[in-house]
Structure 1
């Protein structure tokens, strides 16, 4: 899988390099600040692609004594770096657009620039769709983030093409820096979103989609000894998943029986996330009398209270660090 991810990101890097050169050629032909804005953003594609290549290589390295949880967290640095670069490009674009408002320049060879820009946009569209699909299939944050950036480039280029066509037929040259300002704002927003996603990962913010998947698979295969599940915490680094939780079991089970129950939970979670590597840390709690009200074990030799009803597992009772009913 690592070789496939590297091959994909290297393809993205090579294509981005060629397309960036084509956009700068279009700028030299037309002197359009909007095209220059598009070209500046494409430079970020190249720089981010190079950084992403290294992050994928590092994320694929096995665990070691210094990195017992693996190296997958570097992907959050990768998308954070890309987001910061995009944000910086947006600022440069806004500054350049304001300069062109103050000191306007006449456009040249718009038709030639449009043909070049149209070709680069089509190539970027194909590349962006490929990266987004591959990122989803491989569950790679780096590839998905790169694909998101490429698709943003596509949308801004489409708007730019429309603006240049209007300028060509109307002579409204003020539209060139105006479009560049809009592009700059959109690029700033996209850069912020990527940085926000990076910070969330680095701060170990809970991914509720992962939590829901774990709850769903364990609820569907709930063992009669599994009295409750609580204090669940999930982390995802690249294709590595770390699931921590507490499970309440009958206090009279032997150690070998407790081990079998824990092993069953681990197997179910691993099967649910079979596209990656899963590691579970499960703490077992002994049941207490209050658990009898919702304990599913029909023939319990020590039941002290009658069964009143099953408690459905959800975020509300699985995430807090307390037994159900307390």
Structure 2
């Protein structure tokens, strides 16, 4: 538990610094912001989490071969239950924050504590099963199940981090929803093309062309575009939107 707590502190410290860097505004050298710091941190942590999952299985095999298990089962369960409750509360709070902010870092932190909670539940299950049946192999079985969950969470984080580093955009469904939102914004908007998106951390970069019917002067077209951007930001508060307007048919 001491080693696990130390590693949790190190990972939380990494997340804190990554979140702080990613939140910095754009500058001359980083015109699109620093959001990919989150993606890099998520990539690193996903690999570390996979290593942790492998270590869980390794330790279980080592204990099985050496015949070393926790002897004070009631005391062990009491300590782990307390740690598990605290971890569950932290995980739940981080889950709420990560959904609200759409942040990979907060999602990674949530997953980290969720995996700790599953590990605590696994330890309790192993202690009870080994104590009840006297079969040490239950420790290995439970460890493999816990490791499988850890790998599943790590792969989810890895997939999102790599996607963001490779400039993944919105899904086709979300793009179609965005296209409908644009076309319904004003009767003068008769077409939308070159719709492109890019998701980095909790930021959405979006650019597209709209076709405007009739002879609209520059100010009217500009005002229409600004109101459209405000509408999009109503759905995606962290969106960075660039709109070009063209006469109908161009």
Q: Does 1:256 align with 2:219?
A: yes
Match of 2:119 among 132, 156, 169: 156
Q: Does 1:179 align with 2:146?
A: no
1:284 offset after TM fit, Å? Answer: 2.5
Gaps of 5+ in 1: 1-19, 25-38, 289-322
1:186 offset after TM fit, Å? Answer: 2.3
1:126 offset after TM fit, Å? Answer: 0.7
1:111 is aligned to: 74
Q: Does 1:50 align with 2:13?
A: yes
1:103 offset after TM fit, Å? Answer: 3.2
Following the alignment from structure 2 to structure 1, what is the Cα–Cα distance between the partners of residues 103 and 188? 36
Following the alignment from structure 1 to structure 2, what is the Cα–Cα distance between the partners of residues 81 and 207? 24
1:195 offset after TM fit, Å? Answer: 0.8
User: Secondary structure of 2:216's match?
Assistant: coil
1:139 offset after TM fit, Å? Answer: 3.2
Following the alignment from structure 2 to structure 1, what is the Cα–Cα distance between the partners of residues 180 and 217? 28
**TM, length-normalised to structure 2:** 0.88
Following the alignment from structure 1 to structure 2, what is the Cα–Cα distance between the partners of residues 281 and 106? 61
2:97 is aligned to: 134
Give the 5 Å matches for 1:20-59: 20-21=1-2, 39=4, 43-59=6-22
- Structure 1 residues 92 and 234, CA gap change in structure 2 (3 angstroms): same
1:75 is aligned to: 38
1:246 is aligned to: 209
**TM, length-normalised to structure 1:** 0.69
1:64 is aligned to: 27
1:283 is aligned to: 244
Give the 5 Å matches for 1:201-240: 201-208=164-171, 211=175, 214-215=178-179, 217-219=181-183, 221-240=184-203
Following the alignment from structure 2 to structure 1, what is the Cα–Cα distance between the partners of residues 122 and 177? 39
Report if aligned partners of 1:72, 1:238 keep a CA contact under 8 Å in 2.
Answer: yes
Q: Superposition RMSD on alpha carbons, in Å? A: 2.3
Following the alignment from structure 1 to structure 2, what is the Cα–Cα distance between the partners of residues 180 and 86? 15
Report if aligned partners of 2:185, 2:228 keep a CA contact under 8 Å in 1.
Answer: no
Following the alignment from structure 2 to structure 1, what is the Cα–Cα distance between the partners of residues 69 and 231? 65
- Structure 1 residues 106 and 68, CA gap change in structure 2 (3 angstroms): closer
User: Secondary structure of 1:205's match?
Assistant: coil
- Structure 1 residues 218 and 284, CA gap change in structure 2 (3 angstroms): closer
- Structure 1 residues 93 and 241, CA gap change in structure 2 (3 angstroms): same
Following the alignment from structure 1 to structure 2, what is the Cα–Cα distance between the partners of residues 269 and 106? 57
Report if aligned partners of 1:48, 1:81 keep a CA contact under 8 Å in 2.
Answer: no
Gaps of 5+ in 2: none
User: Secondary structure of 2:61's match?
Assistant: helix
Aligned residue pairs, count: 249
- Bigger Cα Rg: 1
Following the alignment from structure 2 to structure 1, what is the Cα–Cα distance between the partners of residues 176 and 112? 28
Following the alignment from structure 1 to structure 2, what is the Cα–Cα distance between the partners of residues 47 and 156? 18
Following the alignment from structure 2 to structure 1, what is the Cα–Cα distance between the partners of residues 103 and 82? 28
- Structure 1 residues 227 and 279, CA gap change in structure 2 (3 angstroms): same
Following the alignment from structure 1 to structure 2, what is the Cα–Cα distance between the partners of residues 106 and 72? 45
Report if aligned partners of 1:60, 1:71 keep a CA contact under 8 Å in 2.
Answer: yes
- Structure 1 residues 213 and 48, CA gap change in structure 2 (3 angstroms): farther
Report if aligned partners of 2:182, 2:192 keep a CA contact under 8 Å in 1.
Answer: no
